[in-house]
């Protein structure tokens, strides 16, 4: 009796495996799209870091007058200036963010490449036949 129930469960698992492969095949293009999206975000962060105006404070500059900062809100100051003045460490942060986006995108492409390779090995019947000459 126990052997029959075990065999039934084994047959159920065998039928579930092709469904798993089909789901992975559907998700691979989405993962590849995420990789491209990460590269686009990386490019945006790098371009912004290269074009951002760096504000280098001089040693002669004192603290900002508190009366001046109370008069205008940060949003008004941003709209008046038109551009953000970033310190060198803030610009470095954009380079680090770009590096993180690039590494996540590369990881997505690596996962897609490995999964396709394993899917081809597990299910060679889906592969097109090479052209005969």
pLDDT tens digit string along 38-94?
999 999 999 988 887 666 555 455 555 555 545 555 555 555 555 556 676 777 888
pLDDT of residue 1: 47
Question: Comparing C-alpha atoms, which of 82, 78, 83, 90 is closest to residue 53?
Answer: 83
pLDDT of residue 61: 52
| Residues of the chain by 3-state class (helix, strand, coil), percent to 5 | 75, 5, 20
Residue 28: Cβ-neighbour burial (10 angstroms; 0-12, 13-18, 19+): middle
Q: What is the pTM of this model?
A: 0.59
């Amino acid at each position: 009796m126990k052997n029959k129930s075990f065999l039934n469960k084994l047959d159920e698992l065998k039928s579930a495996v092709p469904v798993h492969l089909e789901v992975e095949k559907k998700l691979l293009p989405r993962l590849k799209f995420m990789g491209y999206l990460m590269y686009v975000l990386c490019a945006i962060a790098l371009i912004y870091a290269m074009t951002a105006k760096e504000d280098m404070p001089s040693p002669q500059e004192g603290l900002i007058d508190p009366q001046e900062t109370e008069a205008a809100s940060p949003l008004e100051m941003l709209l008046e200036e038109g551009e953000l003045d970033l310190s060198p460490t803030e610009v470095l942060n954009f380079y680090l963010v770009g590096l993180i986006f690039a590494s996540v995108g590369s990881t997505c492409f690596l996962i897609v490449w490995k999964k396709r390779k394993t899917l081809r090995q597990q299910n060679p019947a889906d592969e097109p036949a090479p052209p005969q000459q």
